[in-house]
Amino acid sequence: MPEIISRCRGCHVAGQNLERVLEMEPMPLAGVFCTSLESALQAPVFPLTWVMCQECDLVQVAEDVDDSTLFAHYNYASSSVAGLVRHFQDFASFLTARYESTDRLSFLEIGCNDGVLLNRLPSHWELLGVDPSDVALRASLNSVPYRLCNRPFSLDLVLENKWEGKIDVISGSNCLAHISDLRSLFEAVALALRDGGEFWVEVHDLDALLRGSQWDTIYHEHKVEWSEQSLLRCLLPLGFTHIQTIRTPMHGGALRICFRKQKSPSSSFRRSGHTTQLLKNLRHAYENRYQTNAALSLVNAQKSGQRIAAYGAAGRANVYLNQMQQLQFDYIVDEAPLRVNKFIPRVATPILPPHQLGIHPAQFCLITAWNYQQDIIRKNPQFTGTWLTAFEEE
């Protein structure tokens, strides 16, 4: 069984200050896709409890599964997702325009994955990626314009490489959800940045998650969920100033926030009653998850012997299918070669390529990757059944 965290991951306040806000049914790891039916049926499950820090408002998973278990076989390559590629093209253009007056810029990306951002930045910049995953290592073996450090970003790594005060810009997109000791990571960022250097973070927006009751995005690999306020409360005390916040549609609602390494005036914070109510709404939506229009349609189709399928075998699908075990999907399709011909853990749903929608037509197909709904429908005209979506984008 995983250990229970003894302090907040973001501000390090003691565990007694962590308030329980949601408890889900035990489920397998969302990043696991099994190579055989037998291994899928035997996949381990883990409890999952959401807690909220009373000091910094960071929402996080209480159970801390070891990283060697979470990310040993990381089945996620960003460049295989069309919507993410578009996002990082836009982000690269944004960064290039922001720093175009800088002749030579040292740019470090934490959690660079397969280089989807770094490959699109100016070649005259000094580009460095830091990512411990096997996906990052394989991508770096090709001709790439950046140097990869295939280890977690940490204080020790900064000191070993003598990066203290040497980096102009550091970014981290979609990686701050996957790190256990965020306080130490932020301290490492502060050490590596030069004075006046900037830190860009892109994170799933807790407010968007709560407004959309997106309980399918809650899983062990997402160790934390950030709000603008929780980021400010964790970073400002470490010598950062908040420069800018941009909201983007990535992953159904995300924050892109810039911090600058310079001392910020002290600020006082107060918890929002709005967030407390939204957490209650999320808990209600989870407890009544079989009462949505999509779930009711699928239950009725299944009772009448109709074939039901799903589309998008990512982490959200693992969560949804395992939390909705009354629904027995005939198959789920996915575009990523890393996942095709594998099985969803525990429920053992086979993962097939998209052309199977035409070969084995289903009466209903649930889009589990609902944040890419329009892309999926457009690319699959061969499907003549009814598309359903469990969650709507805000």
Tokens 């983007």 belong to residue: 248
How many independent structural domains does the chain possess?
2
Is there a single domain that holds both residue 27 and residue 163? yes
Q: Is 43 within a domain?
A: yes
CA 107 to chain centre: 22
Query: Is there a domain that residue 357 lies in?
Result: yes
Per-residue pLDDT, 271 = 63
Is residue 330 domain-resident?
A: yes
Contact 201, 174 (CB under 8 A): no
| pLDDT value of position 336 | 86
Question: Would you state the pLDDT for residue 343?
Answer: 98
User: Is there a single domain that holds both residue 317 and residue 171?
Assistant: no
The CA distance from 370 to 126, in Å, is: 37
Q: Are residues 229 and 130 in the same domain?
A: yes
* pTM value > 0.85: yes
Q: For residue 341, give its domain range.
A: 290-389
CATH number at residue 359: 3.40.50.720
In a domain, 297, yes or no: yes
What confidence score (pLDDT) does residue 70 get?
A: 74
Show which of 253, 287, 321 is a domain's final residue: 287
Q: 59-61 and 224-225 as β-strands: parallel, antiparallel, unpaired? A: antiparallel
For residue 377, tell me if it sits in a domain. yes
The Cα 43–Cα 342 span in angstroms is 13
For residue 394, being part of any structural domain is answered with no
- Backbone angles phi and psi of 323, in degrees to 5: -90, -5
Strands of the sheet containing 254-261, edge to edge, are 147-149, 126-130, 106-110, 167-173, 193-204, 254-261, 240-248
* Cα 53 from chain centre: 20
Cβ pair 223, 58 in contact under 8 A: no
In this structure, are strands 126-130 and 106-110 parallel, antiparallel, or unpaired?
parallel
Q: Which of 287, 320, 352 is the last residue of a domain?
A: 287
DSSP-derived secondary structure letter, 346: T
Both 220 and 77 in one domain: the answer is yes
Q: Cα(356)–Cα(310) distance, rounded to whole angstroms?
A: 11
Per-residue confidence (pLDDT) for residue 72, from 0 to 100: 60
- The DSSP secondary-structure symbol of 175 reads -
Residue 264, CA distances (Å) to 176, 237, 240, 267, 278 in order: 22, 8, 6, 8, 30
User: What interhelical angle do 182-192 and 228-235 show, nearest 10?
Assistant: 60
283 and 294 assigned to the same domain: no
Query: Could you give the CA distance from residue 284 to residue 95 in angstroms, rounded to a whole number?
Result: 40
Residue ending a domain, choose from 287, 322, 342: 287
**Judgement on whether residues 348 and 278 belong to the same structural domain of the protein:** no
Whole-number Å distance between alpha carbons of 7 and 63: 12
Taking only the tens of pLDDT, the chain with its 394 residues reads 789 999 999 999 998 999 999 999 999 999 899 999 999 999 999 999 999 999 999 999 999 988 777 766 555 677 777 788 999 999 999 999 999 988 889 999 999 999 999 999 999 999 999 998 888 999 999 989 999 999 999 999 999 999 999 999 999 998 999 999 999 999 999 999 999 999 999 999 999 999 999 999 999 999 999 999 999 999 999 999 999 999 998 877 899 999 999 987 766 666 667 888 999 999 999 999 999 999 999 999 999 999 999 999 989 999 999 999 999 999 999 998 889 999 999 999 999 999 999 999 999 999 998 888 998 999 999 899 999 998 764 4
Same domain, 197 and 341: no
Do residues 321 and 177 share a domain?
no
Model pLDDT, residue 394: 41
Quick one: 195 and 307 in the same domain? no
190 lies in the same domain as 79: yes
Residues 281 and 295 reside in one and the same domain? no
Q: Is residue 136 part of a domain?
A: yes
Same domain, 68 and 47: yes
Q: The CATH number of the domain where 146 resides is what? A: 3.40.50.150
